[in-house]
Amino acid sequence: MTSSKITNLIMQGSEGIPLLIMASDQYDTWLAEQPEQVKNWLTNTRFSGQGHSVIPSADGAISQVILVSNDTQSYWLCGELVNQLPAGEYLLQGDKEQLKMAAFSWGLGAYQFDRYKPNNKTYPSLIINDSALVSECHKLVRSVTIVRDLVNTPAADMMPQHLGDTMTALAAEFGAQISQIVGDELLEQNYPTIHMVGRASANQPRLIDLTWGDENAPKVTLVGKGVCFDSGGLDLKPGAGMRLMKKDMGGAAHVIGLAHQIMASNLPIRLRVLVPAVENAVSANAFRPGDVIKTRKGLTVEIDNTDAEGRLVLCDALAEANNDKPELMIDFATLTGAMRIALGTELPGFFSNDDEVAAGITASGLNVQDPVWRMPLHKPYLELTGSDIADIANCGKTPFGGAITAALYLEAFVDSDISWSHFDVMAWNNRKLPGRPVGGEAFGIRAVFDYLQNRYAK
């Protein structure tokens, strides 16, 4: 289902089948005040006081729907309800925050990636009598569905050129400027590691560069890892490890979705989005373990493992991002399995060289129920990325602390006077949860947007 179809399920209006959301401890009081017909229906259908009930009128039409929950303040409250109710229009009333949470989960609960397998189900619509709130929810839902759609798309249809097309369309929608440095132009303009990782593919590597907003506004730069498929290179992944590597451009998807939210909300910032987009393929000219590359920043890197390619494409993009001296630099990447071991697949870890920013993003994540967890940039571990023949190696000497050594590698390419945060995300739901089907997922972008909105728009 396209994002436009999903947002059509959240509409402004004042008429519809009443939908009442109540806390579990309110149910008995509410029930005592209902007419006998409603009491009899709930008794005879053995409604337990948890979940939802569709209550008919005397003529058999739906008179109202109730949803009873222990947690009525959950952002995912209606994530299943949208799949359970009959088609129709349901009017929800309540305070603004509860309406926002209900609409958010309603929209995302209806999400299904249907590019190759049509979804002909007719979904119910949620009616809210607040046009500004409906518009806000549309933007939020669309930003997440952009991420999901990009990650879910198979690599054959989501190569570097397709990411370029996606960002070009986004730039056109919001009047942003965009440029792409493609193929051997990367060498000519000194982006050697992006070129090195992507040169073995028939799909030319590129650096996609989008800018938007008032040139005099505070500068915020987003960088997203765009490895459109990761075979592992010559250090080839096993089949099981390669199966989901269409999602290795999840970092790029995250910054594209976040950029949409920023531009759609017209945040007063000067936004720059850098996406190094490559396919890590195997061919006669693939880069090798043991090779040494001189990066854009001038640091030399010894290739310990060609499957640690994400940090290689990111390091040139981060070095370029330094040139504008942004107030904030934030990158997203599906970077390490070590982070998944540390925090699991559903809690994204992030690193930051700025305590105040880290605290703000963490607080925002809790505020919008998009939790993120700060990890330590433990400087002594940088020694583990040492090399006898180059300034740094692209892998640590041990798998222990792998997410930290990867972050420390990236930090080496960020100017010390720039506030930088790095998100290491899964970009994928391994299990179905309310509003979150198995497949591509956005982690941390609502937290970052809330932080940016609090910082710059208030």
Give me the active site residues, please: 237, 311
Residues 6+ apart with CB under 8 A from 401: 338, 378, 381, 384
Cα angle 138, 139, 142 (rounded to 5 degrees) comes to 80
Helix (H) or strand (E) run with residue 227 in it: strand 226-230
CB 395, CB 309: distance < 8 Å: no
Q: Distance (Å, rounded) from C-alpha 450 to C-alpha 318?
A: 23
Start-end of H helices in 350-398: 355-367
Instruction: Give the SS3 label for residue 285.
Output: coil
- Burial label for 127, CB within 10 Å (0-12, 13-18, 19+), is buried
- Joined tokens for residue 378: 């433990």
Radius of gyration of the chain, Cα coordinates, nearest whole angstrom:
24
- Joined tokens for residue 258: 């976040």
The CA-atom distances, in angstroms, between 389 and each of 220, 290, 304, 412 are 36, 10, 12, 17
Helix (H) or strand (E) run with residue 11 in it: strand 10-12
The CA-atom distances, in angstroms, between 50 and each of 24, 25, 53, 270 are 7, 10, 9, 47
Identity at 429, one-letter amino acid code:
N
CB 206, CB 181: distance < 8 Å: yes
Write the DSSP assignment of 79-124 as a string of letters. Answer: TTHHHHSPSSEEEE-S-HHHHHHHHHHHHHHT----SSS---PPPP
CB 63, CB 16: distance < 8 Å: no
E strands within 99-197? 125-128, 177-182
Identity at 205, one-letter amino acid code:
P
Residues 6+ apart with CB under 8 A from 452: 220, 262, 267, 269, 328
